[in-house]
Amino acid sequence: MEEIQVPPYFLCPISLEIMKDPVTVSTGITYDRENIEKWIFSGKNNTCPVTKQGILDGDGGELTPNIILRRYIQSWCTLHAAHGIERFPTPKPPVSRSQIAKLLKDAESPHMQAECLQRLRVIASESEANRRCMESAGAAVFLASIIRNNNNGSDEALSLLHNLRLSEESLKSLAGHDNYSNNLQFIESLIRAMQTQNYESRAFAVMLLKSILKVSEPLQLTTLKPSLYHATVQILKDSISQKASKAALHILIHVSPWARNRIKAVEAGATAVLIDLLLESTEKRTCEMILTSLDQLCQCAEGRAELLSHPAGLAVVSKKIFRVSHAASDRAVKILYSVSRFSATAAVVHEMLQLGVAAKLCLVTQVDCGSKTKERAKEILKMHAKSWKNSPCIPMNLASSYPSS
């Protein structure tokens, strides 16, 4: 059978596949729309892949449809249909800012809002370019206002705002870099959504909150209300989805460098919930995040007290050493170090010995761990050498290498 030779100028320079929707960038090079949009938006590139020259302007760059080339490709496909080559349909043109602006204007009318939001959802699902167009047309600000007002369209607006995958600039705007009052109102509206009965909206809200807090100023992070911590902990407790749980863990980790925030998290019940999750979790990244958060909370007396009051607190932390990853082992040893240094009553020291914590720490000093992890383990063992060194709970092969006091 005769081999069909595809004209080289029909092929996208990135994928070397026949272009379905050829578009030309500002450097004059033509690409398939799907490939160049993926290069620009997913890869966050601002240069032409071939010439390496800049192609983006303030609105995200201009992709001009190459209509003549598209018609040549379609005609060529039709001509070779007998060889199994399918003709590409004429692509749907991308949405324009004026179209989005009209939809946003129409959505201000209560009786048209639901229909307009549904139309915006469809547009957003079609391509990354559409989502960036919606963002530049002010969709994020409009959707945030619906969520703040908590009207009938707030669940749909929350879903759509999450699916826009906003840029850092838009997130900063929602975070209130220019208007602190709006920031507080929007965060409070997300907290309210996290406390509803709608699990999907709760998941979208906590994931949006994670993104908002990530770009917030330190002053904003130190003035967060207790309701945020209670809502975040409840998300973890309910385990509504893996993504929602990870977003909640990200929030706790991100806000906990401040002592005041750690106390708020502990008072919201975070320590006990994290321990319960650690007992059940087997996924590596989740375990690492839980241990990171516990490490932060154990840097305050309230957090250590909650860990020690939990029947499985010390046991599960010790158990995760060598069971998950180097990072998890490091966090677990740091938690034990905080307990040993600041909360080591006679009862706690005895419990650690009975649970095998001392033996596990002896092992840490002998295996291939990070230097800081080893040093912390040695320090813990030295702190309690009088109680642990000659105990039958320490295996002989480990006791012989017990660090001197």
* Contact predicate 405/385, CB 8 Å: yes
* Contact predicate 363/326, CB 8 Å: no
Domains of the chain by range and CATH?
A: 8-83 (3.30.40.10)
Which pLDDT value is given to residue 59? 44
Which pLDDT value is given to residue 54? 87
Q: Where would I find the H helices in 167-324?
A: 168-174, 180-194, 199-214, 218-221, 226-238, 242-255, 259-267, 270-280, 284-297, 301-309, 313-319
- At 281, list the tokens: 């979790």
DSSP string, 241-264: -HHHHHHHHHHHHHHTTSHHHHHH
Which pLDDT value is given to residue 183? 60
**pTM, rounded to two decimals:** 0.83
* Contact predicate 123/130, CB 8 Å: yes
The number of beta carbons lying within 10 Å of the beta carbon of residue 270 is 28
CA 135: distance to chain centroid?
A: 20
Q: What's the per-residue H, E or C state across 82-123?
A: HHCCCCCCCCCCCCCHHHHHHHHHHCCCHHHHHHHHHHHHHH
Which pLDDT value is given to residue 60? 44
Which pLDDT value is given to residue 387? 84
- At 368, list the tokens: 């291939």
CA 49: distance to chain centroid?
A: 29
**Cα dihedral sign, 234-235-239-245:** negative
In whole angstroms, give the CA distance from residue 104 to residue 259. Answer: 43
pLDDT tens per residue across span 248-302: 999 999 999 999 999 999 999 999 999 999 999 989 999 999 999 999 999 999 9
Which pLDDT value is given to residue 178? 57
Residues of the chain falling short of pLDDT 50: 1, 58-60
Q: Where would I find the H helices in 310-404?
A: 313-319, 326-342, 346-354, 357-364, 371-383, 385-388, 396-399
The number of beta carbons lying within 10 Å of the beta carbon of residue 271 is 27
pLDDT tens per residue across span 103-146: 999 999 999 999 999 999 999 998 888 898 899 899 999 999 99
Which pLDDT value is given to residue 147? 92
